[in-house]
A = this chain, B = another copy of it.
Amino acid sequence: MLLDDRKLKILQAIIRNYLETGEPVGSRTISKFADLNLSSATIRNEMADLEEMGYILQPHTSAGRIPSDKGYRLYVDTMMEEKTREIEELKETLLKKADKIDKVLKEAAKVLAQNTNYASMISAPSYIRNKLKFIQLSKVDQHQLLAVIVVEGNVIKNHILKITDQLDDETLLKLNILLNTHLNGLSIEEINLSMIHRLKQQAGTYSAIVSEVIEAVGEAIKADEDLEIYTSGATNILKYPELADHQKASELITTFEEKQLLTELVNENKDKETGSTGIQVYIGNETPIESMKDCSIVTATYELDEGMRGTIGIVGPKRMDYDKVVGVLKSLKSQLEDIYRK
């Protein structure tokens, strides 16, 4: 069977209507819809066809139709009208706090959730290939050293290490020079055992300190393991009756609270080439997160610098306002990139 123009128009009308109301839509409702002048009976015939083709389904006999995942997919891929709304307030709020990226992202997630009435998540940008930029050892007091490790992209890690023997300033300076000359500019793959061994030998009695610093460097570089994720508006999902069932809602909100599972989403996106727009839409079972299989997820990938990427995501009911969400995400994406791109 062919999906001709009229069928497309009817499908579109069904989806639009369902997005608004959340109720199954019947043939009469569609027949009253402006441009196509058809009786409800005709619509019914067409709807039967659409159902057979898998674009819509009936929750039960004698109910109207609702879009299937396949139907939504078609809608998102081909029928959406691009709206270009702006969220000006957001930009202002963001600019005010531009000095602290964690604050900005937290705030952005909040604004996003409030604007869309869905749940939102933002992952902090993480470097894909990280190189060590700079190490600084300093004496904090008699028993403690502070190691500051700066990684490409000005990610900074601090590590306190306890020492038993006293260190004079000169030795400290030597250690600093030793570490920096050998390690700066190296990525994690380049710091291998033979290099560590060589360094330890050169450090002599202080090899224990060198060990500990190198370990801290390792942790600093693979920082994306515990990826920072900011979420907001998880409770918005309680607003949609089809998701507000206790069991499901609890699982969903927990997913947002724990954040652990959301990394799957981020990782899924990191590798994938998302095309020119950087927007990904997961509908129902397409989602990589089990507890969200009754939801739709829209994500955007932002890139502050070559290889420094993060993910913005919106989670809502399958009948989400895709037009709006995509618009808002695009806007936020470009605003983030504007603020931080040099």
Nearest B residue to A247 by beta-carbon distance?
B238
| A133 interfacial by beta-carbon distance below 8 Å | yes
Q: Are A148 and B140 in contact (CB under 8 A)?
A: no
Docked Cα-Cα span, A249 to B187, in Å, equals 48
Docked Cα-Cα span, A148 to B145, in Å, equals 13
Closest Cβ–Cβ distance, residue A257 to chain B (whole Å): 6
Contacts A138-B136, A141-B133, A254-B235: A154 and B160 contacting too (C-beta < 8 A)?
Answer: yes
Return chain B residues, CB-CB under 8 Å to A257.
Answer: 231-235, 257
Report A219-268 residues with CB < 8 Å from chain B CB.
231-235, 238, 244, 246, 249-250, 253-254, 257
A 139-165 binary contact with B (CB < 8 Å = 1; else 0): 011001010101000101010100000
Docked Cα-Cα span, A156 to B145, in Å, equals 12
| A134 interfacial by beta-carbon distance below 8 Å | yes
Closest Cβ–Cβ distance, residue A86 to chain B (whole Å): 25
Q: Are B134 and A140 in contact (CB under 8 A)?
A: yes
Q: Which of B136, B144, B250 contacts A148 (CB 8 A)?
A: B136
Report A194-234 residues with CB < 8 Å from chain B CB.
231-234
Q: Which of B138, B154, B235, B246 contacts A253 (CB 8 A)?
A: B235
Report A108-160 residues with CB < 8 Å from chain B CB.
133-134, 136, 138, 140-141, 144, 146, 148, 150, 154, 156, 158, 160
Q: Are A244 and B244 in contact (CB under 8 A)?
A: no
Q: Are B250 and A246 in contact (CB under 8 A)?
A: no
Nearest B residue to A176 by beta-carbon distance?
B138
User: How many residues on A have C-beta within 8 angstroms of the other chain's C-beta atoms?
Assistant: 27
Nearest B residue to A234 by beta-carbon distance?
B257
Return chain B residues, CB-CB under 8 Å to A250.
Answer: 235, 238
Q: Are B140 and A133 in contact (CB under 8 A)?
A: yes
Report A152-186 residues with CB < 8 Å from chain B CB.
154, 156, 158, 160
Docked Cα-Cα span, A203 to B165, in Å, equals 35
Contacts A134-B138, A234-B253, A254-B235: A156 and B150 contacting too (C-beta < 8 A)?
Answer: no
Q: Which of B146, B154, B249 contacts A150 (CB 8 A)?
A: B146
Q: Are A136 and B133 in contact (CB under 8 A)?
A: no
Docked Cα-Cα span, A146 to B156, in Å, equals 9
- Which of A133, A233, A238 has the largest count of B CB atoms less than 10 A from its CB? A238
Nearest B residue to A252 by beta-carbon distance?
B235
Nearest B residue to A238 by beta-carbon distance?
B250
Closest Cβ–Cβ distance, residue A122 to chain B (whole Å): 14
A-B pairs with beta carbons under 8 Å apart, 25 shown: A134-B138, A134-B140, A136-B136, A136-B138, A136-B146, A138-B148, A140-B154, A146-B148, A146-B150, A146-B156, A148-B148, A148-B158, A154-B160, A156-B158, A156-B160, A158-B158, A232-B257, A235-B249, A235-B250, A235-B254, A235-B257, A238-B246, A238-B249, A238-B250, A253-B253
Further pairs besides A146-B148, A234-B257, A235-B249: 11, Cβ < 8 Å: A134-B138, A134-B146, A136-B138, A140-B154, A146-B150, A148-B148, A158-B158, A232-B257, A234-B253, A235-B257, A238-B246
